[in-house]
Structure 1
Amino acid sequence: MFAPGSARPARNHAVIVEFLVEDVDTLYEKLKSVVEDFVNEPTTMPWGNRALLFRDPDGNMVNFFTPVTPEAIERFSR
């Protein structure tokens, strides 16, 4: 599907893949047994999202987030 050498594991240090999820805290409890490299545990960010950030086995950053403040919930309800 990709040209040989176009995708190189553990080379990305600038991109974060983000997923909107229903409940970050519940997901964190499920992931604790399989994820080795959490960057942060669930944390409420100043902009109103509760976020969980970790590195996948290739070193890519993955962020799961849930809007928790009224403003953030409204922003993502569209």
Structure 2
Amino acid sequence: MAAAVPAGHSSDAPIALESVYGDYQQDQGDEIRFSVELTRIDRLDDTYSLDIRRLKGNLRSYKFVYDTLRQRADLQRAG
């Protein structure tokens, strides 16, 4: 979670971001591997599926990353 690419830009120029860590009770700072897939659902306007999966690593650290990604992904449509 240390780099991101803004929409519409080439992946050749990532934007550096601060690493995110939770308190020790939630996130022990262990390395984890995970995948994120965002899929647009056909024939349903502005409907997406967000799939976040842990591949390897500490479950508590993964849960912190999972909760953080869900919180930061703007899943609610304004309006």
TM-score of the two chains, using structure 1 as the length reference: 0.25
Structure with the largest fraction of strand:
1
Given the two structures, how large is their TM-score scaled by the length of structure 2? 0.25
**Structure number with higher relative contact order (C-alpha < 8 Å, ≥ 6 residues apart):** 1
